């Protein structure tokens, strides 16, 4: 089971929101979809959900072109947009029943509603009006409506925006649980969420994919290496500048932070041996996702 985006482009007037973007999404993989504001994330997600048509390129859901099999493809998709457009005057169970009747046969609705209420932890709130709910529970209702028909593909746009720390943890666990057997695409600006939830990270800028990596290998795409070294006595950090690949260095008390184009730890060790120094500490500092994101998209 897969979703395939092949060279899709979308323009709004003279503005090119998505530019020849290709991407493959697979079952059982939670993909973090990142980018600065205006990068084309929401436009891309709307095209996958069938709400917008690309100007060029194609989107295939389970091997079928969404342009040709639009209704059939949309039955496989659950979508929570960024603004979570709920009917606030409806009761939680009433609203979910209404959504269920859009997707399902009449005899399937009651059991599906009860199922998503249990999955999303809405049992205590199901008889309340949506307007009475906290932001966190409104987000649960939004996720519940996206899950009502047990879709194979789940698209969540900024699902944890505006939540308090406890609500974020609850929604995070919910997303991880429901994403185990689905294709799940998650857009967020909260890097901690990506690190906690996602298996894969896709970063776009100006409508183009600039990074597509497994989460556990994302730290290796940095253009430079940061190395911390501490010798047994004080030295001028510029003494290391003759090492090939050296970029710059900064002293922080007894430690030196070296920036280099490659991993020069062996060269630093050799420098210490040649000059009769003892190394008290030497390690590579892996950049966090926030730093990598900033460097790639600035």
- Give residue-wise pLDDT tens across range 108-135: 999 999 999 998 999 999 999 999 999 8
* Domain final position from 220, 235, 259: 220
pTM, 2 dp: 0.79
The interaxial angle of helices 106-119 and 165-178, nearest 10 deg, is 130
> Could you give the CA distance from residue 155 to residue 178 in angstroms, rounded to a whole number?
12
181 and 138 share one domain: yes
Q: Alpha-carbon torsion 176, 182, 183, 185, what sign?
A: negative
In terms of domains, do 136 and 115 share one?
yes
Q: pLDDT value at position 221? A: 61
Q: Do 67 and 214 fall within a single domain?
A: yes
Q: CATH number, domain at 59?
A: 3.40.50.300
> Looking at residue 260, what is its pLDDT?
87
- The residue behind tokens 């209404």 is 98
List Cβ neighbours of 24 (8 Å cut-off, separation of 6 or more).
Answer: 2, 3, 4, 5
Residue 58 CA to residue 246 CA, distance in Å, equals 45
| Residue in 221, 161, 219 with CA at minimum distance from that of residue 189 | 161
Residues in the chain with pLDDT values less than 50: none
- Domain housing 116: 2-220
Q: Identify the pLDDT of residue 278.
A: 93
Q: What's the distance, Cα to Cα, between the start and end of the chain in Å?
A: 35
Tens-digit pLDDT profile for residues 63-120: 889 999 888 888 999 999 988 989 999 999 999 999 999 999 999 999 999 999 998 9
CATH number at residue 273: 3.30.70
pLDDT for 219 equals: 60
User: Could you tell me if 190 and 132 lie in one domain?
Assistant: yes
23 and 40, same structural domain?
yes
Q: In this predicted structure, what is the pLDDT of residue 205?
A: 93
User: Which residue, of 189, 220, 251, is where some domain finishes?
Assistant: 220
Give the separation between CA 20 and CA 56, rounded to whole angstroms. Answer: 8
């Amino acid at each position: 089971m897969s979703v395939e985006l092949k060279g899709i482009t979308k323009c709004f007037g003279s503005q090119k929101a998505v530019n020849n973007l290709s991407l493959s999404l697979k079952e059982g993989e939670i993909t973090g979809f990142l980018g600065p504001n205006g990068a084309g994330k929401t436009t891309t997600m709307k095209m996958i959900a069938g709400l917008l048509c690309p100007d060029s390129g194609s989107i295939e859901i389970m091997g079928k072109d969404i342009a040709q099999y639009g209704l059939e493809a949309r039955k496989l998709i659950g979508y929570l947009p960024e603004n979570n457009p709920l009917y606030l005057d409806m009761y939680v169970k009433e609203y979910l029943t209404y959504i269920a009747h859009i997707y399902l046969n009449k005899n399937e609705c009651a059991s599906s509603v009860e199922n998503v209420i249990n999955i999303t932890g809405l049992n205590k709130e199901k008889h309340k009006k949506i307007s009475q709910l906290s932001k966190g529970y409104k987000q649960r209702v939004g996720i519940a409506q996206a899950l009502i028909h047990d879709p194979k593909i789940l698209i969540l746009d900024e699902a944890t925006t505006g939540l308090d720390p406890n609500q974020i943890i609850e929604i995070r666990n919910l997303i991880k649980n429901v994403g185990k057997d689905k294709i799940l695409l998650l857009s967020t600006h909260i890097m901690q969420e990506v690190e906690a939830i996602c298996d894969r990270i896709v970063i776009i800028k100006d409508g183009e994919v600039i990074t597509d990596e497994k989460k556990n290998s994302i730290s290796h795409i940095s253009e430079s290496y940061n190395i911390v070294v501490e010798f047994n006595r004080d030295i001028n950090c510029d003494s290391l500048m003759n090492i090939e690949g050296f970029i710059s260095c900064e002293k922080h008390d007894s430690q030196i932070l070296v920036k280099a184009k490659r991993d020069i730890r062996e060269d630093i060790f050799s420098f210490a041996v040649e000059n009769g120094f003892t190394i008290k500490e030497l390690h590579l500092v892996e950049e966090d996702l926030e730093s990598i994101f900033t460097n790639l998209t600035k």
